[in-house]
Amino acid sequence: MSKLAQAATNVDVARHLDSGKFLDMVQDVRNIYVGDPDTSSDATKVLDRIQGWHALSDALVNPDGDFAAAAVLLKDVGTNELAFGIWLESMIAHPDIFEHINHETAVPLSHPPNLLQDSPTPTNHQDFLAFVKAYVSVALCIAVYAWSDSLPNARCRERVLGILRLWQTVDGYREVCESRGNTVQFSLTLS
C-alpha cells in the first residue's frame, strides 16, 4: 500500500486510480486494517493524494477553488523526499499542470499566503498561483542542490551553492529558514 501512496503522488497515476471500485477497495483496506497503523495510514494517504490532486488541479484554474485543500497536498508531499520528487516532476513535466503555473502572475503581496500552517489564511486565486510558483521554484533549487550534494565533488557543490546564493539575491525572493531539531522548514516571503 505504501508504494501505491507514492505512486498516487503522480498526477497521471492519481487520475487513473480515481475510479469508484478502486476507491472503495482502498476504503475497505483502511477499515479492515485499522489495527495495522501502517497499512491504514498508507491507505489514507492514497485516498488523500487522489483527492489532493483534485483540489490542486481545480485550484490552479478555478478562481473559487479550495486553496486550503490544495495546500494540504503541498504540505503532505513536502514532508517526504520521494513523494516530493514525484510531485515536483508532475508539476514541471505534465503539460496540463505546467501550463497553469507557467504564465506570468502579478502579485501585489508583501508576503505569501500562510497555506502550510494548521490554520491557513484565506487567499485568492492570484495569491495562490504565486504561492505555488514560489513553492515549485524553491523546490527546484533545493532539488538541484540535493543532487549536487550527492556527488563526491566539492567543487560541483560549491558552484551550485553559488548559483543558489545568486538566486536568493533576485528582487522579490528572500529565504526564511527556521530550524526545529533535525528538520529545517523553508518558507518564502516576497519582498
pLDDT in tens, 15-62: 999 999 999 999 999 999 988 999 999 999 999 999 999 999 999 999
Name the percent of the chain lying above pLDDT 90.
Answer: 40
Q: Is 99 a residue whose pLDDT tops 90?
A: no
- pLDDT (0 to 100) of residue 156: 80
Q: How far lies 133's CA from each of 81, 93, 106, 120, 178, in Å?
A: 19, 14, 12, 18, 21
Distance CA(10)–CA(53), nearest Å, equals 9
Whether pLDDT at 188 is above 70: no
What is the rounded distance in angstroms from the CA atom of residue 155 to the CA atom of residue 40?
A: 45
> Can you give the pLDDT at residue 187?
42
Confidence band for 63, pLDDT divided at 50, 70 and 90 = very high
Q: How far apart are CA 94 and CA 189, in angstroms?
A: 27
| Residue 107 buriedness (CB in 10 A; 0-12 / 13-18 / 19+) | middle
Q: What is the chain's mean pLDDT, rounded?
A: 81
> What are 149-158's pLDDT values in tens digits?
788 888 887 8
| Whole-number pLDDT of residue 137 | 81
pLDDT in tens, 102-120: 766 665 555 667 788 777 7
Given a cut of 90, whether residue 11 has pLDDT beyond it is: yes
Residue matched to cell numbers 522579490 = 172
